[in-house]
Amino acid sequence: MPLGFPHDFVREPAITRAIYGDRWPAIKDRRSTHRRTAHDVL
């Protein structure tokens, strides 16, 4: 088992889809938007 488990494991698209389902694209977009907004604020 790699040292990065389960993070490397969760990074697999099929597994991510299995865990988060249809919500994953929304979650990923929300994180990206938040990160970009925080960067703009700073």
The per-residue pLDDT for 14 is: 74
- Domain around 32: 7-41
% helix / strand / coil in the chain, to the nearest 5?
80, 0, 20
* CB of 9 closer than 8 Å to CB of 15: yes
pLDDT tens for residues 1-42?
Answer: 455 555 555 566 776 667 666 666 665 666 666 565 555 555
Residue whose entry in the numeric block shows the structure tokens 């099929």: 14
Query: Does a structural domain hold residue 2?
Result: no
The answer to whether residue 1 is domain-embedded is no
Contact (Cβ atoms closer than 8 angstroms) between residue 27 and residue 20: yes
Residue 30 inside a domain? The answer is yes
**Overall number of domains in the chain:** 1
pLDDT at 1: 47
